[in-house]
Amino acid sequence: TQLLEQSPQFLSIQEGENLTVYCNSSSVFSSLQWYRQEPGEGPVLLVTVVTGGEVKKLKRLTFQFGDARKDSSLHITAAQPGDTGLYLCAGAYSSGAGSYQLTFGKGTKLSVIP
Amino acid sequence: KAGVTQTPRYLIKTRGQQVTLSCSPISGHRSVSWYQQTPGQGLQFLFEYFSETQRNKGNFPGRFSGRQFSNSRSEMNVSTLELGDSALYLCASSSSRGWSTGELFFGEGSRLTVL
């Protein structure tokens, strides 16, 4: 079973601060995705990283995939109240016969206080 | 285009009953996956269907079952409900092209409460 440990579990910060969320595993993943989920809704894909060492930026969000493809981080610069939500990392791995499964971390619940 | 649609959005059942949840994927998506989300365990994979065949299955008891129809719509069933089955059940669809990188498009979920 592929496991993803996400930290911190909860994060409460003031508007304008920076933060980093971590996603770690002892397993190698073919790709890693970050989702954001708001209350009463399903998760929404933010980004997919595929190559070890890959860095992707989405406005104030920076995503990095570890060189060994076992870990990832999400950095938010100058957090805004609109960034509030549950951030989930998910690792994709082959389950055989050309199919893949996703395993999710338990999430980081971020609250940005105005 | 329309997103993933799940029905019903909310439902309340009592222990021992059964429940059926429905999911209509994004048009053209042939893969449908189901997840159970609880505060303690997070998102846990139930099963995935592709072209009416169950392709992958998570570690859930046999009370949890599913199926996919020829139009890619999917249903999941939970029999003999237990209190611990209270959760948000999420359906996600994926195109064949996106699946190798595991990109999923989720519905809003069906929130099941078992009393």
Residues of chain A found within 8 Å of residue B34, distances taken between Cβ atoms: none
Does B105 touch chain A if contact means CB atoms closer than 8 Å? yes
| Nearest-Cα residue of chain A relative to residue B50 | A99
CA distance A83 to B66: 35
pLDDT grade for B97, boundaries at 50, 70 and 90: low
Provide, rounded to the nearest whole percent, the portion of chain B with pLDDT above 90. 79
Would you say residue B31 has pLDDT above 60? yes
CB B66 within 8 A of CB B75: yes
pLDDT for B101: 63
CA distance B71 to B109: 20
Q: CA B110, A38, A48, B41: dihedral to nearest 10 degrees?
A: -60
pLDDT for B1: 58
pLDDT for A97: 65
pLDDT grade for B100, boundaries at 50, 70 and 90: low
Average of per-residue pLDDT across A30-50: 93
Provide, rounded to the nearest whole percent, the portion of chain A with pLDDT above 70. 97
User: Do the chains contact at A97 and B106, CB–CB below 8 Å?
Assistant: no
Task: Compare B103 and B28 and report the one with higher pLDDT.
Answer: B28
Task: Compare A34 and B97 and report the one with higher pLDDT.
Answer: A34
Residues of chain A found within 8 Å of residue B104, distances taken between Cβ atoms: 33, 43, 45, 90, 102
- Partner residue facing A42 (CB), from B42, B103, B106: B106
